[in-house]
Amino acid sequence: MLAVILTNLRRRSGRTALTAAGIAVGVATIVGLLALSAGLTRSAGELVHLGQADLGLFQANAADPTSSVLPLSLLARVRARPEVAEATPLQLVIGALDREPSAVVFGTDPHGFVARRLVFTAGRPAAAGETTVGDLLAGQLHVGVGNTIDLQRRAIRVAGIYHSGISFADSGAIMPLGAAQQLAGRSGDEATTIAVKLMPRISHDAADRALTRAFPGVRAISTPGDAVRAGANALLIDKAVVVIVVLALIVGALAVANTMLTAVLERQRELALLSTIGWSARQIAALVLGEAVVLSLVGVGFGLALGVALSGLLPGALGLSDVISADVTAWGLGRAILVGLAIGVLGAIYPSWRSTRLLPREVLAQI
């Protein structure tokens, strides 16, 4: 039967190619959005664990963790908690670097554990009026120690080049907390988050519950999933994936149904002949279904290749290449394959049923 299926699809190569191309575009879009979502989850996890922190404290109900605002008066109380070994404030500034607007500028306490864990490949930590630059960003901008970078149209001297092991931190800049607060337009007693290292043998879940109860209006985030659920942008991407999947199923199934129904109507005599030589209605329906599934698999194959190739370009197109890198996962590819197969099956239901309603005698009488 497979040989018959392939022959029938080749006989209508133009129609087959156009239908497969439509399916491929839908599958590629799904792959790209899932890769972007996975990359966002990974970046969120890196943000939470910046400086090997166990969790971060953020403003509850903030539209996004990066837009959180916490009073620094909380810091002493957080450090006094029995679950906490160390705590240090961080200020995140988005869009401050003129040449790389997507790069993140971090303000840190020079004595906090986040700053202490930086490895300097050149220069030293930043003093007042200076900044340090991640090694990835330094390579992109071709700057070194003693050069300047423009932060909100102000030339700031680069005191050192650091490496943290976290991609979006190494694609950004780190400066003293007070300078970052000024860039963000925040007062000196506010920060974006408080990074926390827990005492030994304290579980993340127990610390989350204890800190949330102790500080109303504050949300403790310890996992990438928590960070993603706390962000409106991540939720928007997740909802966009669902919408795209539904649209791909509907549009793809309609395209396959139209193609297969047209093929059934054009091949009435052929199918009638198969019936007269002993093919059962179930076998004829299986033939139509098989053609639809093979057609969908062709589209899925091209769609996966296109989606993987283009997913790496999506963060750059959105201006987020310094914050998010696409992460193509086996589960993401598997979901795209399942959608493609569902398109073939759903699109073949009516044409398969229609093929079983042909009356061989009436069709052959027209010959």
The tens digit of pLDDT for each residue in 306-339 reads 989 888 777 766 666 655 677 888 888 888 899 8
Judge whether residue 39 has pLDDT over 60: yes
Rounded mean pLDDT, 203-223: 88
Q: Would you state the torsion angle of the CA atoms of residues 77, 78, 84, 88, taken in this order, to the nearest 10 degrees?
A: -120
- How far is C-alpha 292 from the geometric centre of its chain's CA atoms? 30
Of residues 98 and 86, more confidence is placed in 86
**Mean pLDDT value across residues 54-65:** 81
Q: Is the pLDDT of residue 51 over 60?
A: yes
- Domain tally, the chain: 2
Condensed to tens digits (0 to 9), the pLDDT of residues 125-155 reads: 999 889 999 999 999 999 999 999 999 889 9
Is a pLDDT exceeding 70 seen at residue 210?
A: yes
Query: Over 70: is that where the pLDDT of 360 sits?
Result: no
CA distances to 35, 53, 223, 267 from 324, in Å: 10, 20, 17, 51
Decide which of 247 and 298 is more confident. Answer: 298
Dihedral (CA of 26, 226, 318, 301) sign: negative
Is the same domain home to 63 and 204? yes
pLDDT of residue 159: 96
Question: Is residue 74 domain-shared with residue 212, that is, in the same domain?
Answer: yes
Check residue 304 and give its pLDDT: 93
- Mark whether 202 and 266 lie in a shared domain: no
For the cut 70, the answer to whether the pLDDT of residue 44 exceeds it is no
pLDDT of 323: 58
- 226: in domain: no
Burial group, residue 334, by CB count within 10 angstroms (0-12, 13-18, 19+) = exposed
214 and 264 within one domain = no
Residue 152 lies in a domain: yes
Contact 276, 1 (CB under 8 A): no
Regarding whether 315 and 169 lie in a shared domain, the answer is no
Whether the Cβ atoms of residue 109 and residue 146 lie closer than 8 Å to each other: no
pLDDT band at 355 (very low <50, low <70, confident <90, very high): confident
pLDDT above 60 for 233: no
The average pLDDT across 179-193 equals 88
Same domain, 306 and 179: no
**End residue of a domain, out of 190, 221, 252:** 221
- Same domain? 211 vs 296: no
Angle at alpha carbon of residue 196, lines to 177 and 158, rounded to 5° = 30
| pLDDT for the residue 363 | 46
Q: Are 319 and 275 in contact (CB under 8 A)?
A: no
Residue type at 44 in one-letter notation: A
Residue 292, in any domain of the structure: yes
Q: Answer whether residue 229 is part of any domain.
A: no
Residues 93 and 212 in one domain: yes
191: nearest Cα among 95, 77, 103, 68: 68
Query: Do 150 and 28 belong together in one domain?
Result: no
Q: Do residue 150 and residue 23 come from a single domain?
A: no
Nearest-5° Cα angle at 232, 230 to 233: 115
Whether residue 69 lies inside any domain: the answer is: yes
Q: Is the pLDDT of residue 96 over 50?
A: yes
Average pLDDT for 257-272: 78
Q: Is the dihedral of CA 211, 216, 220, 226 positive or negative?
A: positive
Query: Which residues have CB under 8 Å from 31's CB, separation 6+?
Result: 303, 304, 306, 307, 308, 311, 328, 332, 333, 336
Whether residue 247 is predicted with pLDDT greater than 60 in this model: the reply is: yes
Average pLDDT, integer, range 189-204: 91
pLDDT for residue 100:
82
DSSP type of residue 172: S
Inform me whether the pLDDT recorded for 232 exceeds 50.
no
The helix or strand, by DSSP H or E, that contains position 176, with its residue range, turns out to be: strand 173-176
Domain boundary among 221, 252, 268: 221
Q: Are residues 312 and 191 in the same domain?
A: no
Nearest to 128 by CA among 94, 92, 90, 177: 177
Which of 186, 221, 256 delimits the end of a domain? 221
Q: What is the residue range of 72's domain?
A: 55-221
Classify residue 163 by burial, with Cβ atoms within 10 Å: 0-12, 13-18, 19+: middle
Query: Is 307 within the bounds of a domain?
Result: yes
205 lies in the same domain as 63: yes
Higher local confidence (pLDDT), 193 or 15: 193
CA distance 144 to 85: 35
Q: How confident is the model at residue 75 (pLDDT cuts 50, 70, 90)?
A: very high
227 in a domain, yes or no? no
Number of CB atoms found within 10 A of residue 47's CB: 28
**For residue 228, is it within any domain?**
no
CA distance from start to end of the chain = 25
